[in-house]
Every structure is written in C-alpha cells, then in structure tokens.
Chains A and B, each alone.
Chain A
Amino acid sequence: MSEKNDLRLSGTADKPVSDLEAFAEPPAVTVEGSGGQSPWRLAARRLRKRRFALFMGAVFVLLVLVMAAAPLWAEHVAHTSPNENHLSDQIDVGGEKINVVGLDGVPIGPTWRGEFFLGADGNGRDVAVRLLYGGRNSLIIGLSAALITLLLGLTTGLLAGYFRGWTDSFLSRIMDILWAFPVILLGIALGTSLALGGLKLGPVSISGGSLAIPIFVIAIVYIPYLARPIRGEVLSLREKEFVEAARAQGMGPFRLIHSEILPNVVSTGLVFFPLLVANAILLEAALSFLGAGVQPPEPSWGTMIDEGVARIVTAPALAIVPGMMIVITVLSLNVFGEAVRDALDPRAKVRIEH
C-alpha cells in the first residue's frame, strides 16, 4: 500500500486504509478533520462504520427479545413450564408414542416440533423451554448486575476521586481488598454463604434461592474494575480549568460532580457496560455451574451445563447447546463492546477478569 515496506509499521499502522476512516488513530487528525464535531457525533459516526459490530449488537438485542418471550413459547407452543417434570409422560412422534425419558434413563432428543423442540433433560423437562427461561435468568442477572456495578462503580469512583482525602483512602482500601480476591472465589464465597443463609440488609431481606443473590454478588465483585479507572479520571478532571472555574463560581461539590465531572466520565462507563454484561454472564454461568449461583431447579445456562455435563455421554446436546448460547451472547457483547470502545475512547484500557 505504501511505497516503502519499512514505512508500513510506523506511525498509525493500526488499520488498513479502508478501515482507517473508521478508526481515526492519530489524535492530531481527529482534531483537524472533524472541526467542531461533538465527540458523541464523532463516536456515532465511527460506530456506524463498524458493520460487523453493529450486526453483533443487533444479535444481542434479538437474543434479549427472544429470551423475554420465554413465557409465550412455554405457554402457547410447548405447553409446559421450565421446572415441570414429564418423567413418566409419553409424547406422540409421527404417530408413535415415545417416552420422554426412556427406560434406560436417556431423555428424548430434539423433536423439532412445539413440544420438546430440543428434547428433554434427565428429569423430563423441556430443554427448549428451560433454555429460554435459563437465558432469561442469565440475561436478567447479567444486565442487572452490570447496571448495579455501573452505578456503584461510578459513585465510588466519583466520590473517591473528587473528595480525595479520607473518603478516597477509605473507598480505595475497600476496592483494594475486593480486588485481592480472585473474582471467582469472591463470587463463590458470597454466593454460597448467601445461598445458605439469605441476605438481610436493613429493611431488605432476600431469601437464599432468589435471583437477587447472584445479581448482588456479581455486581459487588466487579465494582473495583470500574471504580478504579473512574477515580483516576476524576482525579485528573478535577484539576482542569473548567472545573476550577465552576468551583470558583461557588458551585457546590455535588452539583459540580453532576454537571461538570459526570458528563466526562460517562463515556468510560459506556465503554465498560457491554463488557461488564458479558463478564457478568460468564461469571453467573461459572457460579451456577459450581452451585454458587442460580439455585436448582431454577434454570440458567450455567446450571444447564452443569446438569448436561453429567449426561454428556448419552445426551451431549444438553451440555453443548446452553454453552453455545453463552458463547454467542458473550461474543456479541464483546464484539459490540470493542467497537464502542474504539469509537468512544480508543486508548481506554479495559480489563475485566472472569
């Protein structure tokens, strides 16, 4: 592409010419080429050029819609509910009566019809229905946990970064301590202890089997991953002239945070959000797989894999299908999230462990 080979690697060799317009690496160019455009418009324009990422974003939205429609399928097509056993039932396949779970304990495979579309699991439950409800649970947990992490992470980061001093020391120490635990272990610790006892925080009381437990657990675990970068950003923002100016005009700290600082860290939050959801879904699956997340008989993709692995020899689909669902969901979020990051803040270092 360039006249010289050795030139290829230097400068802004990040992307090919065709893609370059979508990436805009050199900051100097961004400023020159886009005189007067708001950063949001610019980000939207960059994002629009990432066709594949947008497609994956759409895939995720579609998945959400499909999972949200789980009750419709269960009621009107499959005529069962996710936790209903059909161990001793028979169904009609091509005029033949077949046991849902064979005498040898092997459940029926996909019928590709309304009932037992994807077959049954070892307890004679409709896999398609459980997959939909399980996905619904996984997505509810992933999205809610990420949302809570976003709120708490932003709040923690803003307070620590803005007020500094003992507020910062206090919050940062807590973050350090949470950070010290391997994510999965902290999740297991919280997940098992709360699943055993339930949670009572002031007026709120949550029983051990509730979905709110994994939501709470996962939300807590990821807070430091967001709070730390936000805190760093706020620390440098508060020294900027426009903040100084607002302060000089006598603006109170909370209004100042709200009107001057928050808008500047929102993009970091947005960059993190899809990736937080993705990791929350993975962590939920892992915790549920180990028995420290969603509690049986409630379905989730993680518990379904756990149950499926036990029958992987006779009915491999039971383990494979929910896993595929996780991969597609998380992949769509990761691809979309990466494009959001590139569009909003190409230099952002996002790192989430799972």
Chain B
Amino acid sequence: MALFALKRLGSMILVLFAVSVLTFLIFNVLPSGDPAVRMAGKQPTETQIEAIRVEWGFDQPIYVQYEKTMQNMFSGDMISYFNQLNVVEEIWKGVPRTFALAIGAAIIWMAFAIALGVWSAMRAGGVSDGMLNVFALIGISMPVFWLGALMNQYLGFELTQILGFELFPNGGYVEFSVSPFEWFHHLLLPWFALSVLFIGFYSRVLRANILETMDEDYVRTARAKGLSERRVMLSHVLRNSMISVVTLWGLDFAVVVGGGAILTETVFNLQGVGQYAADAIGQLDQPPIMAVTMFGAFFVVFFNALIDIVYAALDPRIRLQDGDTAL
C-alpha cells in the first residue's frame, strides 16, 4: 500500500512538472509577439515592459525563462501588472469561496442524481423515464452562465421585487463567519445553477449503470437467494452501480474547484478563484490567468492522486493493478 502510494505520488510529481511546462509554453512561447508586452497588460509603458522582460527573463534562453516563471509563481511575489496586487494572495482569498460553492453543489448534484437515476432506472422505458431523460438532456445542453444569469435576474432580482422580500439574494457572497444563514442563503442559487448540468449527466450515468448492473450474474444470484426486490436494489444493484459514479464525483469535484466553477462564480459574483481569473481576462491581465490555470490543474492532478490512493486503501483489487491511474 505504501509502495502504491509512493509510486502514485511519484507519477503525480512528473505530471505536475509537465503541467507547469505546458502552462509556461501556452502563455510565454506559443503565441507570437513579445511575451513581455502580453504580460504587461492593457497600456504598458516602455519602462514597464523592460522591467518585465528582465524579471521574467524574456531576453534569456527558454529554460531560464521557465525557471524565472516558476520562481515568480512559487515565491508568491508575482503581481498583476494591472492592479499591482499579489496574485497568489488574491487566489488564496478566493479559495474558501470556491470550495464553498463546489462542496455544496457536489452534495446537491449527487443527491438529486441518485434520486433521479434510481427513479428512472426502476421505470426504464416508461413515460416518467422518458421525461426525465429529456429534462436531463436539456440540463446538459444549457450554458451554465446563461442559466445562472437568468436565475440571478429572475429568481434573485425580480422575484424579490414581486415578493417584497429576498427569497433568493441577487448574487454576492457572505462570509460564513459573518452570518452562516446568509452564507447559505447566498449560495443557494449558485449551488443549483452549477448542479443542473451535473444532475443531468450523473442521473443518466447512474441510470445506465443500474440497468447494466441489473444484467449482472450476481444480481441474478441475489434474486435466486430470495431477497426482496428492495434489498436486491440497494445492496447489490445500487451499491455496485455507485462505484464508478463516486469515482467520477471525486474527479468532477476536483475539476470544479480547479476552475470548472469559473462561470458560475462570475455570474453570481461570488469572488472565488475562478472569477478572479475571469475578471483578469477582461483586463487582458495575464499573470492571474496564468497562475489560476496552473494551480487549478495542480489541484486536479493532486486530487486525482489522492482519490487513487484512497481507493487503493479501500479496495484491495485495485492495488493489484499497479500504478495505473484511474483517470
């Protein structure tokens, strides 16, 4: 087990390194033109550009440039040339907000997906199954930022006008320490907006898994044992159908935290990590985008390794298959 964990962490470090190289290439090498100008933002002066060129090593060989870039990223000194704020500090400010959004949404989407997936698998082929399938397809066909903007406008803003009180707030974030209730209240709409896509997707995956599992020999065995249909469903069908869904859950959670929530954060003005990057796009402010991209991918890689290790600890069958990642 320890060996597996070590191996997995080793391969994780390699991937992290590769991710950092790719990020560097995307921002500093791939585009044509002067990287210092791009880094400098909207209206740089000549002296600013010169300073950036020296700081990032753009006048030196490419491996020095990479080294300097990583120095900037990890030393915590990197600043945005748009507002002179420290990028890593700004990211840290957004982290709890992004996590609050991701954790709540993950719980909501899983709960709904299980309920709907089981419901439609049990009624496979029926009218309600067909309707749920259509809803799920609509859910995965909606741009989340559009849905969020409409929810924010109509449920958050106009509904408040009609009701005369705030059933749902119109965007914004309240610190948990300030008011747990308002924290929750402000996150409700974002949670659901972010969940819609995943509910649609997960309920369909789970439904397909359940139907596939119901064809398994061991489910037939469970029936042959004389178990009640309920027991067969819970302890044999659902239990086994959930395995891949839970894996997926972990992966998607990482993706949402690592940057997938950027649109939701922006539309509801939650000021999380994603929105920090999104705002920077508007200002053509490259350092924050670069840092969020790299640290987002780092989080995804790190979390995936964690999932693999936890899984291996839980399920002895996986350990046998050596260091292959579950990605």
Contacts and interface: CB of A to CB of B under 8 A. Distances in A.
A176 B229 contact: no
What range describes how many residues of B lie at the interface?
35 or more
A31 interface: no
Interface of A is mostly: helix
Interface in B171-220: 197, 211-212, 214-215, 219-220
Interface stretch (B1-9, B46-54, B288-296, B315-323): B288-296
A282 B32 CA distance: 27
B258 interface: yes
Contacts, number: 187
Nearest to B205: A351
B286 A19 contact: no
A188 interface: yes
B162 interface: no
Given A205-B32, A331-B137, A181 B293 contact: yes
A286 to B, nearest CB: 6
Contact of A10 (B137, B214, B266, B277): B214
Interface stretch (A123-131, A234-242, A287-295): A287-295
Contact of B140 (A6, A16, A184, A334): A334
Contact of B125 (A16, A193, A205): A16
A19 B124 CA distance: 11
Given A193-B38, A290-B263, A199 B138 contact: no
A126 to B, nearest CB: 21
Interface of B: 15, 18-19, 22-23, 26-27, 30-33, 35, 38, 122, 124-126, 137-138, 140-147, 149-150, 153, 157, 197, 211-212, 214-215, 219-220, 223, 229, 232-233, 252, 255-256, 258-260, 262-263, 266-267, 277-278, 281-282, 284, 286, 289-290, 292-293, 296-297, 300-301, 304, 325, 327
17 contacts: A6-B229, A10-B219, A20-B125, A173-B18, A176-B18, A177-B18, A184-B260, A185-B292, A186-B293, A193-B31, A196-B284, A285-B146, A286-B143, A292-B281, A319-B150, A323-B142, A334-B137
Interface of A: 6, 9-16, 19-20, 173, 176-186, 188-190, 192-194, 196-200, 205, 278, 282, 285-286, 289-292, 302, 305, 309, 312-313, 316, 319-320, 323, 326-327, 330-331, 334-335, 338, 347, 353-354
